[in-house]
Structure 1
Amino acid sequence: MTNASLDPIELQVLRSRLQAVAEEGAITIERTAISPIISESRDYSCTLLEANGDLIVAGGAISHHFGICGHAVRATLATHGDSVAPGDVFFCNDPHNGGGLHAQDVVVQLPVFVDGELVAWVANSGHMLDMGGMVFGSWSPDATDCYQEALRLPPVRLFRRGAEQTDVWQIIRTNVRVPDVVEMDLRGLVAGCEVARDKLVGIAQLMGRDHLLDGIGELRRRAEHEMRRRITQLADGVYRYTGWTEWHDERYEIPCTMTVAGDTLHFDFSGAPGQTNHFFNTKPHIITAQIVGDGSDVLTHDIPLSQGMFNPVTVHCPANSIVNSNPPAPVASAHIDVSLTASMAAHQCIMLAVAAGSSDVARLLTGPVAPSAMAIQTWAYTTPQGYPDGWMMLDGAMAGTAAAYDRDGTDLCNFIVARKPILEAIDVEMLEAWYPVLVDFKRIRPGAFGAGRFRGGSGCNMRFGPYGVDAVVGQLLAVREHLPPNGSGGGRPGSVSEFVLRSGAGEERALPGKSGAVVVSAGESIEFRIGSAGGHGDPLDRDPDAVARDVRLTRLTEAEALSVYGVAIVDGAIDADRTARTRARLLRERLDAARPASRPRSAPATEGDRERPAQTIYPGVDQRGGTAFARSSGAVLAHAPDAWTDGCPVLEQPLDGAVVERSYLDPVTGRLLLVEAVPAGAACSVVSSPRRWTEAAPA
């Protein structure tokens, strides 16, 4: 049957059926695995892929898994080729050789045959509680090469033509600390594959094999067509955003340059540093999965993620760099630090192009995504029977989202725009029931973080200690120690993550964000305060009633309301006159304290430009002809093709050691146009150069 015979209704029914198959496979994983990280936190996924590894549809909670399963299938095909047979089940976990996000996120793959022909794959990924290596959980900041980190397997068979490969299972069991738990979770992934396979074969038998394949191909083509259509709504040009990955006081610059050309996006990470002996080296397939997964949440959030979203996107990661590493580079955190910095920078490039274009998703504009503020931990202990055990504290992933252009960020959540939640924290009651801990409190972190006209959401603040055991030993994996996530459109940065060890006597000691083998003994406790994303718009433009509400909810103190937002609140009541005076004073003080613009524009706008239609270069900055204006005051900031930031007075304030908060001001009003937390002396982290701006320069 030809593609022309597939009518729109039939295609929609097929898409819904395929989505239901993936979700049923995912639910099977959740209900058959036994570790809370899968059954409670939902760190797993189920994907359906074409015979060549192209993504059809996915279910489960981890969208970053969706994009890496095709990489695993293609590696399996390259290794095993024509020997793939019905009843085979493959396994891989090495990011350097066919694996997924990191060694703990194993990928189980099952080929689907119909009438003797390989027509599809089911590939499931889930986080295993332990995969061996130097520490429980296989996630050590002290590892200096991949050989120390975990058991690493290339694509191998768990089942051959339906027969269990007991030698492979025994290799895995022998190398992990909790073999029964890992085996049951692996079997849960296999069960999810089998359920999805059976359902997919049933659809093929109902529709006919060729009809099914035609439909899958047409769905891919339509998804790609729509992705390309929406890319054309972005403003052609070059956009750059620079992020930094931290290792205590070391900083690794991750520059991302995105080129929008017609219906394509190209991301270039040239200039990234060479691979390091720290555990956060990453791989191109991981960065690509995160870029497309996060970017499509904005551009095509109403369409299920599929290969069609990947095809218009290319990513360049220079060889032997921190974004394209090779053995022996350690990669236990390959999907967190560097890769999240890279995907966050790419996401911000997309947001810059959204703001500068005509896209109907401009209403979804936000600052840097919150996952880059997470502070996950793994904890281990010895059972009364003398066996090792432990858990992963995914509450550390509950950061607050960035503010949007018209709303506050969301507390305890990673994305303000997404198809579904990424992770769920284990309930306190479940955590205490499963493991020897007692939780003192778990709450939203208070404080004036991510201030803006719309503020960022808040992260998790939690304290717990060992209960019933002598001690627990942890690996602390905070992403942001000194550099908080930036805001957008004049919003201020969010907060960094912090760990505090509290003695039995109540004395507190701050711990480095990346710490290995942290011992918390009986009577002691550990507290973590998860970072938050940035705000949107100048905090002095926030509705005073919204500020007063945050004070009532104890998110802010009255002193913070006055100093950050300029809102005077006494005994819960707003003093409107004092608020107006305070805000006017704070605006003046900014201009008085700022250094002059690097290229001040005292000359008038190019003749006729003020009368031209306004087109956004950056939120709060408009292009009219060949001149850039501050939207709120009409002040001239730059003439094409110069950077609009060149015409802004700059205010710098120290944040933490060698980190500064740098603000680019409207030269007339003093309002914040762009605020960034950057290493002292760094260039501006944001460059927005729509083609219409660079081409507006005089000949």
Structure 2
Amino acid sequence: MNRKSDADFDAIALEVFRSRLQAVAEEGAVTIERTACSPTIAESRDCSCSVLDAAGDLIAGGGAVAHHFGACSHAVRCTLALHGTTISPGDVFIANDPHNGGGLHYMDVVVQRPIFRDGVLIAWVANSGHMIDVGGMTFGSWSPAATECFQEALRLPPVRLFRQGAEEQDIWAILRNNVRVPSLVEMDIRSLVAGCQVVHDKLSAMAEAIGAEVFTASVRSLRDIVSRELRRRIALLENGVYRLATWTEWGDERYRVPCALTVLDEKLVFDFEGAAPQCKHFFNSKPHVIQSIVTSDVTDVFTHDLPLSAAMFDAIEVRCPPGTVVNAEPPAPTASAHFDVALNASMAAHQCLMMAVAISGAQAPGQHLLSGPVAPSCMGLHTWAYNTATGGQDGWLMIEGAMAGGSAGHDRDGYDLFSFMVARKAIIESVDIESFESRYPALVLGKRPRAGAEGAGRYRAGAGCQMRYRPHKTASWTGVMLGMRERLPLPGFAGGLPGANTRFALHRANGQMEAVSGHADALTIRDDEWFEFRLGCGGGFGDPLEREADAVARDVRQSRISIAEAASVYGVVLDESEFLPDPEATPTCRKRMLNERLTRAQAATKPLTGHEPLVPPKRGQGRLLYPGVEHHAGIAYAVTSGAPLAVAPGAWTDGCPRLEEQREGGVVVCQYLDPITGTILIADVRLEGEPCTIEARPQHWIDSVNEPASSEAAYG
């Protein structure tokens, strides 16, 4: 058959075909939710359904967790490589080992089924869901004490659960023999099988109705269309290199995760060269995990209206150097391969893209969705296990620990209890308190959005979850903590302040409170004690002193911040009886705070001399280097004041006075100020002794070195 192009298809018919594919993927995910037994899947929706072509490339994804889609594609390709021509109709495969054909991590098992038409393989369905336990050292299979993958879980390469429609009883027996709650895990795996069956039947009917050749050609055409549109949008971004570095924490240890985004015409390349060497902690990751999460998160920004499909992976390259925490080799432990390091990598990649979007002008895709960092790396998940009345063991994953607060956007505050400013769909849903208490021996004492002024800005971050609860009708629990960003907060954007850190605490019966490490193992809590977690949040957007006074007053009335925080962080003086801004005292307070910043600040590293401040009408007409900073003829200026900062191709931050705040654990928050106004241009978060972690080097800034020097008259 001659390959058809999308021009050979009726546009309406092709859109109907795409919509049907998406509906089938969503129906597969709903089937999983309705047939699973674990609240993690049935109520919190920690599952997905991926529809893939015959080669394992993503066509459409359904369900809540888009991070699964690319990982499921990897799993199917590994199954094809291992089993090749022996794959038959009615086969169903399972895999869970990130080192060998698995998905995001051991507990996110991947169940896969090939779809044949007239004896020809035309598609796959791959479903993934979080199993409450898959063996290993601890209940839940997350073990901070593990130092190699052999200690962590039952590790399955791609093997058959069903062979030509018949169950492989030996594999099912191995599964049941190696998990702590075999009946629950078996039913959840069978829910994934049920979702595969639904998708198999629906796609088979579609292929029968239109013919296998037309089905396959339509899939190719959709991929081509999305690819062209994606590349068109990338071409609207400013070519250049955009960098952000962060660190993953383990107690007092720090593991560097740097990202450099190169925008070159119609392609994006995210390079993690310089990442820390792989280690003996469970957050080592794999390239397919990093690629899946990065691609999902960055395309939310400027292609949220396009289907997340293989076309995205064609235009977005992710480079993970071997032997590092983003590309570890066995026997490195990987139970948390999709969390700590991977989420930090995605956050850094997202912020690099946000810099490119911010400086690319009104025509750039995603301008209306411009925001600070995605905030899943502020999560504080944890698992609890307990002994049942019959002497067995049971437990749960506290999914509310995923409900961090989102960063602020360029025109709105961040969302409470949700890690993203924008996403294709809700990721994880909270479990109803009454349902939780009826299912497990627990009593909830309180649950609310966390208060505090962290993440302040012209627009502030949302709040993470704060929750208190204790054992009830059981003597004790044993817990494992999966907390992130205990000391290193997420940065803000365009002068916004960093977000809150994640905290765990145990309140003893004697009234004492003990801080709990974010990677504590085998933590015991008795029924006369209670546990509390307070999740972190993303950063603010813009200088807090630019926030509308009425918005600050509203935050006080809603008990988000105190009157004292309104004054000390936002410079808003409130009437203490009616909580209304004082129209005279507030401007005076803000002016004083700006002056105090400049008085307290350290001198610029390389103050630019010999250039006068830029004045209107030229000010504001240059090419952006970062929100609030522009350049004219190779000189960088602060947009608001016109203060000269640097000569191309130098770092404009070198021309800014700096306010440095030393925090615990060697963390430094450094505010780079406008030399004239005192406005915060960037609030960087880094380790002591490190340079600025944020850098935008668009090609027009580098090329401006060769531009003719302007006369002083041109600068007013």
Q: Name the TM tier (shorter chain).
A: over 0.9
Q: What's 2:675 paired with?
A: 667
Which of the residues 379, 386, 391 maps onto 1:386? 391
Please say if 1:233 is aligned against 2:236: yes
1:466 Cα deviation (Å)? 0.3
1:612 Cα deviation (Å)? 8.7
1:205 Cα deviation (Å)? 1.0
Kindly provide the amino acid, as one letter, of the partner of residue 471 in structure 2: P
1:30-71 residue CA offsets vs partner (Å, 9 max, x unmatched) = 000100000011000001000001000010000100111110
Q: What's 2:467 paired with?
A: 462
Kindly provide the amino acid, as one letter, of the partner of residue 407 in structure 2: A
Kindly provide the amino acid, as one letter, of the partner of residue 245 in structure 2: T
Which of the residues 549, 564, 585 maps onto 1:578? 585
Kindly provide the amino acid, as one letter, of the partner of residue 102 in structure 2: G
Q: What's 2:665 paired with?
A: 657
1:507 Cα deviation (Å)? 1.8
**Structure 2: unaligned runs, 5 residues or longer:** 708-716
1:617 Cα deviation (Å)? 1.2
Please say if 1:590 is aligned against 2:610: no
Q: What's 1:637 paired with?
A: 645
| Contact 1:605–1:627 under 8 Å retained in 2 | no
| Contact 1:380–1:474 under 8 Å retained in 2 | yes
Kindly provide the amino acid, as one letter, of the partner of residue 654 in structure 2: D
Kindly provide the amino acid, as one letter, of the partner of residue 625 in structure 2: I
Structure 2 vs 1, CA of residues 310 and 605 (structure 1 numbering), >3 Å: closer, same or farther? Answer: farther
1:472-505 residue CA offsets vs partner (Å, 9 max, x unmatched) = 1110111111001110000000011001101123
Kindly provide the amino acid, as one letter, of the partner of residue 106 in structure 2: A
Q: What's 2:502 paired with?
A: 497
Please say if 1:684 is aligned against 2:692: yes
SS in 2 for 1:246: strand
How many angstroms apart in 2 are the aligned matches of 1:108 and 1:238? Answer: 39
Kindly provide the amino acid, as one letter, of the partner of residue 627 in structure 2: P
How many angstroms apart in 2 are the aligned matches of 1:487 and 1:418? Answer: 19
1:610 Cα deviation (Å)? 4.2
1:200-246 residue CA offsets vs partner (Å, 9 max, x unmatched) = 01111111111111111000111111111111111100111101100
| Contact 1:606–1:626 under 8 Å retained in 2 | no
Q: What's 2:622 paired with?
A: 614
How many angstroms apart in 2 are the aligned matches of 1:511 and 1:664? Answer: 34
User: 1:181-580, aligned counterparts within 5 Å?
Assistant: 181-358=184-361, 359-571=364-576, 572-580=579-587
| Contact 1:606–1:627 under 8 Å retained in 2 | no
1:545-582 residue CA offsets vs partner (Å, 9 max, x unmatched) = 00000000010100000000000012212112111111
1:511-568 residue CA offsets vs partner (Å, 9 max, x unmatched) = 1111111101011000000001100000000000000000000101000000000000
Kindly provide the amino acid, as one letter, of the partner of residue 275 in structure 2: A
- TM-score, structure 2 normalization: 0.96
Kindly provide the amino acid, as one letter, of the partner of residue 168 in structure 1: I
How many angstroms apart in 2 are the aligned matches of 1:255 and 1:617? Answer: 20
| Contact 2:552–2:572 under 8 Å retained in 1 | yes
Q: What's 1:695 paired with?
A: 703
How many angstroms apart in 1 are the aligned matches of 2:148 and 2:223? Answer: 39
Kindly provide the amino acid, as one letter, of the partner of residue 266 in structure 1: V
SS in 1 for 2:62: strand
1:164 Cα deviation (Å)? 0.3
Kindly provide the amino acid, as one letter, of the partner of residue 638 in structure 2: A
1:176-213 residue CA offsets vs partner (Å, 9 max, x unmatched) = 00000000000000000010010001111111111111
- TM-score, structure 1 normalization: 0.99
Structure 2 vs 1, CA of residues 181 and 674 (structure 1 numbering), >3 Å: closer, same or farther? Answer: same
1:611 Cα deviation (Å)? 7.0
SS in 1 for 2:161: strand
Structure 2 vs 1, CA of residues 343 and 386 (structure 1 numbering), >3 Å: closer, same or farther? Answer: same
How many angstroms apart in 1 are the aligned matches of 2:600 and 2:453? Answer: 22
1:253 Cα deviation (Å)? 1.0
How many angstroms apart in 2 are the aligned matches of 1:446 and 1:349? Answer: 29
Question: RMSD value over aligned CA atoms?
Answer: 1.3
SS in 2 for 1:131: coil
How many angstroms apart in 2 are the aligned matches of 1:677 and 1:696? Answer: 29
SS in 2 for 1:458: coil
1:632 Cα deviation (Å)? 1.1
Percent identity of the aligned residues? 54
SS in 2 for 1:447: coil
Please say if 1:162 is aligned against 2:169: no
How many angstroms apart in 2 are the aligned matches of 1:206 and 1:599? Answer: 70
| Contact 1:612–1:624 under 8 Å retained in 2 | no
| Contact 2:491–2:498 under 8 Å retained in 1 | yes
Q: What's 1:599 paired with?
A: 606
Q: What's 1:49 paired with?
A: 52
How many angstroms apart in 1 are the aligned matches of 2:72 and 2:209? Answer: 27
SS in 2 for 1:494: coil
How many angstroms apart in 2 are the aligned matches of 1:34 and 1:229? Answer: 44
Kindly provide the amino acid, as one letter, of the partner of residue 574 in structure 1: P
How many angstroms apart in 2 are the aligned matches of 1:521 and 1:267? Answer: 47
| Contact 1:248–1:512 under 8 Å retained in 2 | yes
How many angstroms apart in 2 are the aligned matches of 1:693 and 1:122? Answer: 47
Structure 2 vs 1, CA of residues 381 and 647 (structure 1 numbering), >3 Å: closer, same or farther? Answer: same
More displaced 10-residue stretch of structure 1: 1-10 or 328-337: 1-10
1:602 Cα deviation (Å)? 2.5
How many angstroms apart in 2 are the aligned matches of 1:338 and 1:60? Answer: 24
Please say if 1:82 is aligned against 2:85: yes
1:286-337 residue CA offsets vs partner (Å, 9 max, x unmatched) = 0000111001100100111000111011111111111100111111111000
| Contact 2:447–2:466 under 8 Å retained in 1 | yes
Kindly provide the amino acid, as one letter, of the partner of residue 603 in structure 2: P
Structure 2 vs 1, CA of residues 596 and 607 (structure 1 numbering), >3 Å: closer, same or farther? Answer: closer
How many angstroms apart in 2 are the aligned matches of 1:461 and 1:680? Answer: 30
SS in 2 for 1:240: strand
How many angstroms apart in 2 are the aligned matches of 1:654 and 1:585? Answer: 23
How many angstroms apart in 2 are the aligned matches of 1:256 and 1:577? Answer: 45
1:595 Cα deviation (Å)? 0.7
How many angstroms apart in 2 are the aligned matches of 1:470 and 1:677? Answer: 43
| Contact 2:493–2:541 under 8 Å retained in 1 | yes
**Structure 1: unaligned runs, 5 residues or longer:** none
1:593-626 residue CA offsets vs partner (Å, 9 max, x unmatched) = 1111111113226999947932221111112231
How many angstroms apart in 2 are the aligned matches of 1:448 and 1:524? Answer: 29
